Amino acid sequence: MKILMVNKFLYHRGGAETYAFELADYLRQQGHDVQFFGMEDSRNVYGNELNLNVSHVEFRGVSLRQVTYPFRIIYSREARQKIRQVLQDFQPDYVHLNNINFQLTPSILYEIHAQGIPMIQTLHDFQLVCPNHMMYREHDTTICEKCKGRRYHECVRHRCIHNSRVKSLFGAVEGWLYHRLRTYEMIDAFIAPSQFLADKMVAFGEDRRRIHTIHNFIKRDYDQMQFEKQDYFFYFGRLSIQKGIPTLLRVIRSLPEVPFLIAGGGELEEEVKQAELDNLKFVGFKTGEELVKLIGEARATLLPTEWYENCPMAVLESLMVGTPVIGSRIGGIPELVDHEVDGLLFPAADEAALRQQVQRLWSRPETAAAMAVKARQKVEAFSIDTYGERLMNLVTPLLKNGRSNP
């Protein structure tokens, strides 16, 4: 089977990219032919045989002058033309969409549909119903559902995208336009990595019949490795405000006797570096076996996120190597962490509650050890083989139909 994987970023950037790359590797191991289409970048690690991708577009941090050409980030003629060439050359059996908005734009959906190729999309965030994709405003640290009922003008009113009325206007126009044009109805099926996200989509007006909940997978390359636990708590991932980094730093400051490690990169990296806390060690961005070792040796990993986290890979990666998770009770996290079984949950943004849960596992290493055993036992439910089987059960009926919905 030939599969075109589409994602705007084709380098290791975050959870969506990890998902797409690892799924592609697995599908290739199963004998399928997989190519990628996305945005040009010197860091790209995947592509297609024609070496065709969309010209680089930066949406965050650009100047007002650069972003006042709304058609490029709402509808990209270049993206449609280039994916047309890739589709004609590769002739995939189906297209697997991931994150496409702003850089690739939904313009590509029209071309895929015109060529009669089935489409599925994995929803890594809330882009179908929320112009800033997160249901969270970074500039005032607020969970936001004000666009419910397709009230996209609320995005402009609250400057939901990068605290910019101009960018928020473009995002609102995009959301309104493609809803009115029913563009996303050309996609045959959506994969929601959490039941929480699926329920939010339905609550905001999407058709439940096209949304299929399949939790993310975890590659089991390291699940047989054994680790000697060390006395530290570990956060790894994006260093941003919605991930609860300011809250985490305050907790670290209040527990000088407890060692913490942080790995990752992002907007708050300098803030972490400059914290100058004796009990905090920042180790930078880590991947592969080096990261796995840090996860596996930790007393517990921390996920203090303060937005509607979907199905965070950090939880699955921790469970894989037998490390309990202390995570916020928000979004899809409670679907992955069984409270007081293989981890602990606390109310999001509750600094005192997070401190209490850290203290609990710090003072009771035997409790953390018991949770570690339970964590390893859960891995099979999130195996990539299980995921692949469910994916094929979703795709096979689409292939029999021979083309996407009219």
Question: Which pLDDT does position 404 carry in this prediction?
Answer: 45
Tell me the whole-structure pTM to 2 decimals.
0.88
Q: How far is CA 216 from CA 17, 195, 213, 300, in A?
A: 12, 11, 9, 21
Mean pLDDT, rounded, for 278-285: 96
- Residue 36's SS3 state is strand
- Predicted confidence at residue 69, as pLDDT, reads 47
Q: What is the mean pLDDT of residues 384-395?
A: 94
Mean pLDDT of 245-274: 96
Fold type of domain 233-381: Rossmann fold (3.40.50)
What secondary structure does DSSP assign to 40-89, as a single string? --TT-----TT---BPP---TT--TTTT--HHHHH--HHHHHHHHHHHHH
- Give the side-chain half-sphere CA count within 13 A for 302: 34
Mean pLDDT of all residues in 165-172: 89
Using a 10 angstrom Cβ sphere, with 0-12 exposed, 13-18 middle and 19 or more buried, the burial of residue 277 is middle
CB 263 within 8 A of CB 196: no
Q: What is the pLDDT of residue 71?
A: 61
Residue with token string 């069984």: 338
Give how far the C-alpha of residue 191 lies from the chain's centroid of Cα atoms, to the nearest Å: 13
Q: Which residue has the higher pLDDT, 400 or 272?
A: 272
pLDDT beyond 70 at 222:
no
pLDDT above 90: residue 79: yes
CA distance 257 to 321: 26
Cβ neighbour number for residue 212 with a 10 Å cutoff: 16
**Domain 2-58+71-134+182-217+384-401 CATH assignment equals 3.40.50.300:** no
Mean pLDDT, rounded, for 238-253: 96
Q: Say whether pLDDT at 213 is over 80.
A: yes
More confident site: 14 or 396: 396
CB contact burial 27-65 (16+ within 10 A = b; e otherwise): beeeeeebbbbbbeeeeeebbbeeebbbeebebeeeeee
Q: Note whether 2-58+71-134+182-217+384-401 and 233-381 share their fold.
A: yes
pLDDT in the model for residue 64: 43
Q: What is the mean pLDDT of residues 196-204?
A: 95
Domain boundaries of the chain, sorted by first residue: 2-58+71-134+182-217+384-401, 233-381
d(CA 396, CA 78): 31
Q: How far apart are CA 146 and CA 153, in angstroms?
A: 9
- Provide the Cα torsion 318, 10, 83, 387; round to 10°: -20
Residue 62: is its pLDDT beyond 70? no
Whether the pLDDT of residue 251 is over 70: the answer is: yes
Q: Residue 327: is its pLDDT beyond 90?
A: yes
Q: DSSP code of 126?
A: S
